[in-house]
Amino acid sequence: MALSTAILRAVPGAFILNSGISKLGMDAGTAEALRGMAAQGVPVLGKLTPEQFAKFLSYGEIAVGTSLLLPFVPTKVAGLALAGFSGSLVSMYLRTPGMTEEDGVRPTQEGTAVAKDTWLLAIAAALVLAGGKGKGAKTAE
């Protein structure tokens, strides 16, 4: 694995894994608030109970973070996992009232913390493209 690919995987992987571990045992009030925000971007999440959502979110973040950190997980697979995760975050950002300016793209003060998740989506795209090389392809890695 190229050093550049390892960095693209390790930094968000460690961050997301830590985030998932910190959410284990989340209280119902926090889970309810997060579920409400998440359902803006992925409406089906609103059908989960707060307890189900807390487990789904924490286990999902642990799985995505771990896939990025384990070098035997193909880069394209890890990138696709990150794309699904970060894509849902970006969808939530774009669909939640008050997170964007009137143009629907630029973040408001409230949306800045979530708008930064677009960087994760860009990293995911880079990983998918880096992992998409055919067998026997010559690279400068």
* pTM to 2 decimal places: 0.85
pLDDT by residue (tens digit) across 4-38? 899 999 999 999 999 999 999 999 999 999 999 89
For the chain, the 3-state helix, strand and coil shares in percent, each to the nearest 5, are 70, 0, 30
What is the SS3 assignment for 11? Answer: helix
Q: 105 vs 75, 76, 114, 121, CA distance in Å?
A: 29, 28, 12, 15
Spatial distance between the Cα atoms of 49 and 54, rounded to a whole number of angstroms? 9
Q: Which two tokens stand for residue 60?
A: 């999902």
Q: Which of 62, 69, 63, 57 is nearest to 13 (CA)?
A: 69
Phi, psi of 100 (to 5 degrees): -120, 155
pLDDT by residue (tens digit) across 100-117? 999 999 999 999 988 888
The single-letter DSSP state of residue 134 is P
